[in-house]
Amino acid sequence: MARPRKPLNLLKATGAYRPDRHADRENAPQADGQPEMPQWLDEEARSCWQTTVPQLVAMGVASNVDNLALAGMCRWYSVWRKADARLQQGKGDSYKLTIEAATGWKNYSAVAAKFGLTPADREKLTLPEPIEPADEFSRLLA
């Protein structure tokens, strides 16, 4: 199975963008707009959405077409948190709750990684230094 393509803005942010390889992707359709939180998210998932999604939008990683993926990520976060809380309180079968919590965390982590939310994925991002505009004197000396 082939490795999935990195989005163009992620290639540029990590310094991996190469015009000879990626120039044809410049004209790819770009989504814009703010993701809208679905009404069916429970309280825990809404909390995840309200903390995470605005930061992803500010980073330019998420847009309105990512609604379902973001909602799924927040829903898996909620499943993990609820199962973990019941496990810590000793309510229910610990074996089943452990599996439920592990499944919730695994699925949350898989989606979160695609948005660069895990520490390892964030570590891969290196933003380029802003280029200072040259003053007239420096331009003449060059």
Closest by Cα among 58, 57, 85 to 70: 57
* The pLDDT of residue 62: 82
Closest by Cα among 46, 50, 44, 47 to 86: 44
First to last CA, the chain: 50
Residue 85 has pLDDT above 90, yes or no: yes
Taking only the tens place, the pLDDT of each residue in 88-116 is 999 889 999 999 999 999 999 999 988 88
* The pLDDT of residue 133: 55
* The pLDDT of residue 28: 62
Taking only the tens place, the pLDDT of each residue in 22-68 is 777 776 656 678 899 999 999 999 999 999 999 888 877 788 889 99
* The pLDDT of residue 3: 77
Reduce the DSSP state of residue 126 to 3 states and report it.
coil
